[in-house]
């Protein structure tokens, strides 16, 4: 019988375990955001985007597809807790945001830092949600929120980008337990 320290866990298993933990962290952050009161003047359901900290970390360390996995998990959670409209808005905004952050993180020209990427990702998320809102409602009235959402993206992107910079070492230490 092998001791626990000699157990050989393959790389795929470690990868899946890490994604599971990151997905759980994103869900917990999303759940905690539900307890923050709505900001007056913003559309119902507007969030600060704390769970995007985990998505951005995942995109920066593991790549687009693992970050997309986190995005899908967050969208499913939104759908399960807040309904189908929340699922579609979270999914569309999340996919667009994840694509933008992944492209900017992979860029050889590091024009934007973590905070700049977080701001642009937040703006992309809002754009995706506005598109879905327009499709669901059958009206383009939601486009009038765009200027407010751009300001909100600036604020929330700066906040989540700053938080990621602060907790990045802890997330990297956590991830190191799954590498060999």
Task: Give the per-residue SS3 of the chain.
Answer: CCCHHHCCCCHHHHHHHHHHHHHHHHHHHHHHHCCCCCCCCCCCCCCCCCCHHHHHHHHHHCCHHHHHHHHHHHHHHHHHHHCHHHHHHHHHHHHHHHHHHHHHHHCCCCCCCHHHHHHHHHHHHHHHHHHHHHHHHCCCHHHHHHHHHHHHHHHHHHHHHHHHHHHHHHHHHHHHCCCC
Over 70: is that where the pLDDT of 80 sits? yes
Whole-number pLDDT of residue 35: 87
pTM: 0.87
User: Is residue 13 over pLDDT 50?
Assistant: yes
Query: What pLDDT is attached to residue 9?
Result: 74
Residue, of 1 and 20, whose pLDDT is higher: 20
% of the chain at pLDDT higher than 90: 64
Give all domains of the chain, ordered by start, each with its CATH number.
10-176 (1.10.1760.20)
């Amino acid at each position: 019988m092998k001791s626990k320290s000699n157990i050989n866990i393959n790389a795929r298993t470690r990868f899946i375990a890490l994604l599971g933990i990151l997905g759980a962290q994103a869900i917990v952050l999303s759940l905690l955001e539900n307890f923050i009161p709505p900001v007056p003047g913003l559309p119902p359901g507007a969030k600060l985007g704390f769970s995007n900290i985990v998505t951005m970390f995942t995109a920066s360390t593991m790549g687009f597809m693992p970050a997309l996995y986190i995005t899908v998990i967050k969208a499913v959670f939104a759908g399960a807790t807040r309904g189908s409209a929340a699922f579609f808005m979270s999914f569309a905004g999340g996919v667009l945001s994840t694509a933008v952050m992944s492209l900017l993180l992979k860029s050889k020209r590091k024009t934007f830092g973590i905070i700049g990427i977080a701001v642009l990702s937040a703006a992309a998320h809002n754009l995706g949600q506005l598109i879905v809102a327009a499709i669901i409602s059958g009206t383009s009235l939601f486009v009038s929120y765009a200027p407010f959402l751009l300001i909100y993206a600036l604020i929330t992107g700066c906040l989540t980008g700053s938080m990621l910079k602060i907790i990045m070492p802890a997330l990297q230490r956590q991830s190191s337990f799954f590498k060999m």
